[in-house]
Amino acid sequence: MSIDRRNFFRVLGVTGMSFALGKQSIANPEKKEDIEFSGILYDSTRCEGCQSCEWACAEANGLPEPEDYPEVGVIRTTNEQRRTVINAYDTSKGEVYVKRQCMHCNQPACTAACLTRAMEKHHEGPVTWDGDKCMGCRYCMVSCPFDMPKFEYHSSNPEIVKCTMCFERLKEGGVPACVENCPAEAMMFGKRRDLIAEARRRIQENPDRYVDHIYGEYEAGGTSFLYLSPVPFEELGFKTNIRSKSYPELSKGFLYSVPTIFVLWPMMLLGIQDATKNKNSKTEDHESE
């Protein structure tokens, strides 16, 4: 087999196209870094564990009302029935309450994992789920470093459930229900950059009150939900092994190699096939001579 000019151009075209397409499709999610997301700053030194946010969340999303309450030693987790919980921790600075919900990462693992784009990171900041697209594979749950997407295992029409940062309310110019209903003003809604500045200001003005760490500033490549704490975050049950780079980056190398292999493999295989074919026919010729 020899490559004539027409074939050469054909191969060239296919190669170029797959490189172009490959690049375009993979580079897309990165751009979101430049967009200024909204977010929530949660100050656990102000939180009094009153569960107003849990009640407001249940009401806003039509979920059952909370029946238990935060207790030291008991870890309550979010599930398909509740999208946010308050836990109490006994720390070196006394009892501290912490709210838990989806972190709304800047570059979420769940959206990178989703093969139908049912999980979507919006310009406004929230990560939401679309039931018309989702096939229920639960790869988002496998990928999420915070284990936040929850699945309705006991339904024949199951949904992925997690905090949506009240995306519907945001679109109408409102703020999330939990932020609006917090009597202690432990939460603040705003642009992520302003929230980080505000968090820095609070740490600077009260260095004894806060630990010098804004959880979510760099965790998992940055999240829309930001935390302030009086004690190191491991005392509040936060995962400390979360990487500071984004999670989708972990599979980027593999995805980048795909178009390359797709172009090189067939050509290499054809080459080998051709080489072995020739060798065989030559030896046959020798035998027949």
Partner 1 sequence: MSRNESIALENKQDKESIFKFLIRELKPKGKLFTPFNLISLPIMILGLILIIIRFWKGIGAITNLTQDVPWGLWIGFDVVTGVAFAGGAYVITFMVYILNMKKYHSIVRVTVLNGFLAYVFYAGALLLDLGRPWNVINPIIGNGFGTSSVLFLVAWHFLLYMIAQLIEFSPAIAEWLGARRAHKILSGMTLAAVIFGITLSTLHQSGLGALYLMAKEKIHPLWYSEFIPILFFVSSIFAGLSMVIFEGSISSKVFSDQISEKNHKAHNSILHGLSKVCTGAMFAYLFLIIVVFVHGQNWVYLNSSMGYWYLTEVIGFVVIPMILFYYSYRRNNILMTKIASILTMLGIIINRLNVTVIGFKWDAASHYYPSWMEIAVTLAVIFTEIWIFRWIIKRMPVLKDSPAWAKQST
Burial of 8 (0-12, 13-18, 19+ CB in 10 A): exposed
Interface with partner 1, residue 112, by CB under 8 A = yes
- What 3-state class would DSSP assign to 70? coil
Whether the CB-CB separation of 56 and 181 falls below 8 Å is answered with: yes
Q: d(Cα 138, Cα 57) in Å, to the nearest integer?
A: 24
Q: d(Cα 206, Cα 213) in Å, to the nearest integer?
A: 13
Site for partner 1 in 22-81 (CB under 8 A): 25-26, 28-29, 77, 79-80
Interface with partner 1, residue 3, by CB under 8 A = no
| Residue 109 or 228 with smaller CB distance to partner 1 | 109
**DSSP state string for 125-193:** S-EEE-TTT-----HHHHH-TT---EE-TT-SS--EE---TTHHHHHTT---HHHHT-TT--EEEEEHH
Question: 31 — phi, psi (to 5°)?
Answer: -60, -25
Q: d(Cα 161, Cα 183) in Å, to the nearest integer?
A: 26
Which whole-number Å values give the CA distances from 219 to 125, 225, 289, in the listed order? Answer: 16, 10, 73
Q: Which two tokens stand for residue 208?
A: 């004894």
| Residue 28 or 92 with smaller CB distance to partner 1 | 28
Alpha carbon 145 to chain centroid distance? 8
| Residue 72 or 261 with smaller CB distance to partner 1 | 261
Shortest distance in whole angstroms from residue 191 CB to partner 1: 25
Site for partner 1 in 233-262 (CB under 8 A): 239, 241-243, 247-248, 250-251, 253-255, 258, 261-262
Q: Which stretch binds partner 1 (CB under 8 A): 4-12, 20-28, 164-172, 177-185?
A: 20-28
| Residue 200 or 252 with smaller CB distance to partner 1 | 252
Interface with partner 1, residue 19, by CB under 8 A = no
Interface with partner 1, residue 141, by CB under 8 A = yes
| Residue 10 or 201 with smaller CB distance to partner 1 | 10
Q: Which amino acid, residue 257?
A: S
Q: Which two tokens stand for residue 122?
A: 């919006």
Shortest distance in whole angstroms from residue 151 CB to partner 1: 6
Q: d(Cα 50, Cα 4) in Å, to the nearest integer?
A: 77
Question: 106 — phi, psi (to 5°)?
Answer: -65, -45
Q: Which of 9, 204, 272, 282 binds partner 1 (CB under 8 A)?
A: 272
Q: For residue 79, what are the β-bridge partners?
A: 82
| Residue 30 or 48 with smaller CB distance to partner 1 | 30
Interface with partner 1, residue 17, by CB under 8 A = no
Q: Which stretch binds partner 1 (CB under 8 A): 31-39, 97-105, 111-119, 204-212?
A: 111-119
- Interface with partner 1: number of residues (CB under 8 A): 64
CA-based nearest residue to 32, from 192, 188, 177? 192
Q: Which of 19, 50, 63, 158 binds partner 1 (CB under 8 A)?
A: 158
Shortest distance in whole angstroms from residue 16 CB to partner 1: 18
CA-based nearest residue to 87, from 73, 101, 97? 97
Interface with partner 1, residue 20, by CB under 8 A = no
Which positions lie near partner 1, rule CB under 8 A?
A: 25-26, 28-29, 77, 79-80, 109, 111-118, 130-139, 141-143, 145, 147, 150-158, 239, 241-243, 247-248, 250-251, 253-255, 258, 261-262, 265-266, 269-270, 272-273, 276-277, 279-280
